[in-house]
């Protein structure tokens, strides 16, 4: 059937052989010992049949409607040549247990993977290849999603193309991790799904079956991705914060979901919190949004109260058995310096932030039971670097309280990494750089949600690699999940997300962005260290290399061009990995070095 996909051909074949009259979709994986074929209704995603086979003799057909009832068919029967041939066209080798993507196109450059209450694609827990071999995980614009294959490391180079040479002795920053934000909107969308779908979504992010996030950002009270504006103490002039209390958004949405994520993960998860606005009675403009800063001067009752608010927040979450790794001083402090800014903000100049840290927030945290919670300054566009860092960190009092500098990605196109991140690291090599927020669809010329956009996935992975190459220790996405509109958002500031929830269908879509992030988060655990990787010639690939805490090597290769690139990766201690980087693909390579 020229011009048709193997999935389409198999769908027609199953409809012919088994009399399935509904629209048919198919996903499959071949395993070294057999395989699995999933036949599903392509509109409702109802599982029609699950076909598994352990050898070439027998295929077992299991209907979800007839649990425990299996039909045995001869593999040499009517489907022998047709089915096996077509399966081989579209299947790749997978370790047992992983479930394939059920793809759906919405007319953009690639596909989403469709999940519901009964099915979601998954990955195997990470298993190292045998010594002398490497694993390759591949995602492509054409529809592959973190598909694993293995290869043999060669003693001698046979390729003639680009050579990437690992330099493990050249060591750079250690990695903190990767993750996303548990906003009110994310919580509302996740909990709008059925319990089974909720679990599959959370597993996709946090379990060994998923991409194993280890960072969660938590807004302190409301932000634009809330359905109302609130703080934790909206009682006028309550300087003792006697009326401070968490909201239902915390106690019914964010906290329960974070606990569920913690139960699913095998990695320690680090939480960090960011405030958008103080209570309005502490602000010069008396409003959650618009141009406004804290009243008074650093060291006074307004600034001390705002610093104490952080401790109250940390205390309140501790009562719910959640401990934070870090807090940022303020989300996008320059937003509150803009007249008419549309949503929650609190303005700081660099000088104001320096003095607030030195006189208020730094000492208050240090003298609290949360003295081990780290403080990240800036939490705004890297365009502000290195100037903002120089203002704050050249003050020895403020500097002693600051662990790191958090950056957002929205103005990166105006701010080259070398002159911002690179120069800041040169000036302050012992201060962590940390990417704390990113999303696509926020600019006025961008469509909020583009289901299946491969370009948006490439934007994510290009940003992550660039950040890693310029000393950044972690990368945090914005909302973990949004709806089809890119919300909810009380000011309609809709954006895209790696997971989009279709509440009416009890379905969620895992976008290319999700898998691009997974090419890093799953394979680069906390305390991995970036090392040198040198190319033999100028090329269009984005590449980065790291050594994991267990001593194994990870290399990520992103090809944003349409051209296939023959490639050799050299590890001087081990040998040569001969491979190819297809156009519009991302690969993660993993191998033992001992």
Nearest to 325 by CA among 212, 238, 218, 209: 218
CA gap 246, 184 in Å, rounded: 13
Dump strand ranges (E) for 65-223: 70-74, 103-105, 111-115, 133-140, 147-152, 162-174, 177-181, 215-220
Q: Count of H helices and E strands in the chain?
A: 15, 27
**Among the options 332, 423, 526, 578, which is catalytic?**
332
DSSP 81-97: HHHHHHHHHH--B--TT
Structure tokens at 569: 């990766």
> Is the separation of the CB atoms in 194 and 248 below 8 Å?
no
Q: How many residues does the chain have?
A: 594
Which residue has tokens 């086979």?
53
Rg of the chain over Cα atoms, rounded to whole angstroms, equals 25
Calculate ∠ Cα 386-391-393, nearest 5°.
Answer: 85
170 a catalytic residue: no
CA gap 570, 164 in Å, rounded: 6
Given CA atoms 411, 416, 421, 424 in this order, what sign does their dihedral have? negative
Nearest to 200 by CA among 123, 104, 93: 123
332 a catalytic residue: yes
What are residue 437's phi and psi, to 5 degrees? Answer: -165, 140
Q: Is 27 strand, coil or helix?
A: strand
Contact residues for 221 (Cβ-Cβ < 8 A; gap 6+): 230, 231, 232, 247, 275, 276, 277
Alpha helix (H) ranges present in 170-291? 184-191, 195-206, 248, 255-264
Q: Is 286 strand, coil or helix?
A: coil
> Is the separation of the CB atoms in 278 and 346 below 8 Å?
yes
> Is the separation of the CB atoms in 234 and 310 below 8 Å?
no
What are residue 586's phi and psi, to 5 degrees? Answer: -135, 135
Q: How far apart are the first and last CA of the chain?
A: 48
C-alpha distances in Å from residue 470, one per residue of 108, 172, 176, 399, 436:
32, 9, 14, 21, 15
CA gap 530, 471 in Å, rounded: 9
Structure tokens at 527: 């305390």
Dump strand ranges (E) for 465-571: 472-479, 482-483, 499-502, 507-510, 529-535, 541-547, 553-559, 565-571
Inter-axis angle of helices 184-191 and 195-206, nearest 10: 130
**Among the options 49, 147, 437, 526, which is catalytic?**
437
Q: Is 59 strand, coil or helix?
A: strand
DSSP bridge partners of 440: none
Q: Is 230 strand, coil or helix?
A: coil
Q: Which residues are catalytic?
A: 332, 437
């Amino acid at each position: 059937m020229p011009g048709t996909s193997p999935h389409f051909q198999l769908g027609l074949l199953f409809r012919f052989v088994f009399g399935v009259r509904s629209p048919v979709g198919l996903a499959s994986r071949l395993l070294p010992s057999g395989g699995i074929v999933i036949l599903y209704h392509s509109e409702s995603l109802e599982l029609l049949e699950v076909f598994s086979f352990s050898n070439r003799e027998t295929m077992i057909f299991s209907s979800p409607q007839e649990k425990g009832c299996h039909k045995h068919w001869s593999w040499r029967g009517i489907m022998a040549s047709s089915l096996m041939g077509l399966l081989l066209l579209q299947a790749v080798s997978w370790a047992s247990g992983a479930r394939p993507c059920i793809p759906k196109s919405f007319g953009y450059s690639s596909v989403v993977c469709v999940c519901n209450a009964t099915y979601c694609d998954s990955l195997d827990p990470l298993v190292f290849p045998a010594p002398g071999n490497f694993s390759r995980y591949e995602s492509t614009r054409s529809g592959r999603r973190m598909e694993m294959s293995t290869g043999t490391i060669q003693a001698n180079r046979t390729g003639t193309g680009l050579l990437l040479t690992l330099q493990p002795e050249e060591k750079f920053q250690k990695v903190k991790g990767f993750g996303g934000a548990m906003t009110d909107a994310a919580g509302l969308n996740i909990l709008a799904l059925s319990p089974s779908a909720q679990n599959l979504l959370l597993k996709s992010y946090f379990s060994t079956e998923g991409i194993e996030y280890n960072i969660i950002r938590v807004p302190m009270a409301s932000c634009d991705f809330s359905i109302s504006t609130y703080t934790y103490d909206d009682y006028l002039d309550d300087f003792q914060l006697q009326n401070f209390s968490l909201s239902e958004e915390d106690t019914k949405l964010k906290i329960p979901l974070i606990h569920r994520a913690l139960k699913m993960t095998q990695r320690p998860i680090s939480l960090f919190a960011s405030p958008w606005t103080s209570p309005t009675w502490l602000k010069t403009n008396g409003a959650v949004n618009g141009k406004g800063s804290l009243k008074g001067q650093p060291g006074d009752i307004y600034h001390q109260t705002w610093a104490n608010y952080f401790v109250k927040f940390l205390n309140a979450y501790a009562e719910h058995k959640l401990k934070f790794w870090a807090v940022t001083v303020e989300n996008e402090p320059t937003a509150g310096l803009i007249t008419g800014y549309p949503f929650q903000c609190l303005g700081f100049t660099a000088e104001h932030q320096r003095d607030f840290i030195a006189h208020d927030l730094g000492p208050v945290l240090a003298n609290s039971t949360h003295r081990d919670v780290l403080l990240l300054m800036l939490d705004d566009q890297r365009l502000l670097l290195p100037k903002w860092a120089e203002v704050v960190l050249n003050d020895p009092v403020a500097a002693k309280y600051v662990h790191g500098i958090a950056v957002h990605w929205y103005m990166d196109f105006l701010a080259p990494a070398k002159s911002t991140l690179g120069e800041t690291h040169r000036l302050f090599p012992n201060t962590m750089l940390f990417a704390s927020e990113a999303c696509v669809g926020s600019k006025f010329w961008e469509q909020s949600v583009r289901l299946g956009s491969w370009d948006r996935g490439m934007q994510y992975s290009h940003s992550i690699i660039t950040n890693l190459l310029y000393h950044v220790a972690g990368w945090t996405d914005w909302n973990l999940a949004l709806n089809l509109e890119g919300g909810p958002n009380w000011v309609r500031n809709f954006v895209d997300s790696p997971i989009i929830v279709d509440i009416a269908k009890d379905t969620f879509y895992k976008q290319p962005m999700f898998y691009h992030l997974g090419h890093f988060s799953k394979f680069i655990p906390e305390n991995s260290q970036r090392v040198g990787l040198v190319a033999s010639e100028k090329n269009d690939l984005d590449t980065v290399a790291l050594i994991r805490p267990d001593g194994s090597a990870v290399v990520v290769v992103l090809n944003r061009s349409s051209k296939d690139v023959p490639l050799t990766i050299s590890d001087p201690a081990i040998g040569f990995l001969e491979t190819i980087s297809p156009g519009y693909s991302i690969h993660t390579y993993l191998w033992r070095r001992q």
